C-alpha cells in the first residue's frame, strides 16, 4: 500500500464513520425515538474529527472533501427522515436539502478550478446547528414551533449562500478557501 493511501485511511475512516451516526439518527426519527443526544454527538464529532486529525498533522485535502460530502449527505439523510415522519417539516427540509446541493455544487466548482477545499467555518456551523435544532424541534410534534424553527433554519442557511460565492476560482494561502 502506498504511503499516500496509508495517510488517507485514518481520516477517511474517522470522517466516514460519522455518516453511520446520521443513519442511526434517521432510523430513530423513523421509529419516533429521541434524537437529541445523538444530534449533539454528531455535531461534536463533526467538529472534533478534523481537529483531532489536524492535531496529528493527519488531515488531508481528500479527507476535507469527504468531510463536506459526509456533512451534506448526512443533512439530506436526516432531513428526508424528518420530512417523512413529520410532514409539517417537509417544506423546510426540502429547502435545506436544496441549499445543501447548491452549496455543494459551488464548493465542487471551486475545487475543480483550484484543487482547494472549502472550509465553512462559523457560517456553516450556524447552518448546521440551526438545521439540527429544527430536526429536534420537529420531533416534539408541535407544528407552530416546527414552522418557526424551519423558517429560522432556512433563513440562516440561505443567508450564507453569498458567502459561498466568495472567491470561487481564486487560490488561497494554505490551499483552503475559508468562509
Query: What's the CATH fold of domain 3-178?
Result: 1.20.120
pLDDT digits (tens, 9 = 90+) for 104-145: 899 999 999 999 988 888 888 899 999 999 999 999 999 999
CA 169 remoteness from chain centre:
22
Beta bridge partners, 20, equal: none
Sorted by where each begins, the domain ranges of the chain are 3-178
Which residues does residue 178 pair with via DSSP β-bridges, in sequence order?
Answer: 119
pTM greater than 0.75: yes
The Cα–Cα gap between 79 and 136 comes to 11
Amino acid at each position: 500500500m502506498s504511503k499516500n493511501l496509508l495517510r488517507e485511511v485514518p481520516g477517511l475512516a474517522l470522517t466516514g464513520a460519522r455518516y453511520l451516526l446520521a443513519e442511526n439518527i434517521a432510523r430513530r426519527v423513523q421509529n419516533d425515538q429521541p434524537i437529541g443526544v445523538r444530534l449533539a454527538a454528531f455535531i461534536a464529532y463533526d467538529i472534533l474529527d478534523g481537529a483531532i486529525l489536524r492535531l496529528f498533522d493527519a488531515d488531508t485535502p481528500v479527507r476535507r472533501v469527504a468531510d463536506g460530502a459526509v456533512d451534506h449527505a448526512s443533512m439530506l439523510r436526516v432531513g428526508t427522515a424528518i420530512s417523512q415522519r413529520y410532514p409539517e417539516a417537509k417544506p423546510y427540509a426540502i429547502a435545506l436539502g436544496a441549499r445543501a446541493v447548491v452549496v455543494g455544487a459551488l464548493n465542487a466548482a471551486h475545487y475543480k478550478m483550484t484543487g482547494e477545499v472549502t472550509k465553512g467555518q462559523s457560517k456553516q456551523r450556524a447552518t448546521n446547528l440551526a438545521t439540527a435544532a429544527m430536526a429536534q424541534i420537529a420531533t416534539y410534534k408541535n407544528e407552530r414551533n416546527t414552522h418557526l424553527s424551519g423558517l429560522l433554519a432556512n433563513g440562516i442557511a440561505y443567508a450564507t449562500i453569498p458567502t459561498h460565492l466568495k472567491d470561487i476560482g481564486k487560490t488561497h494561502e494554505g490551499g483552503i478557501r475559508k468562509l
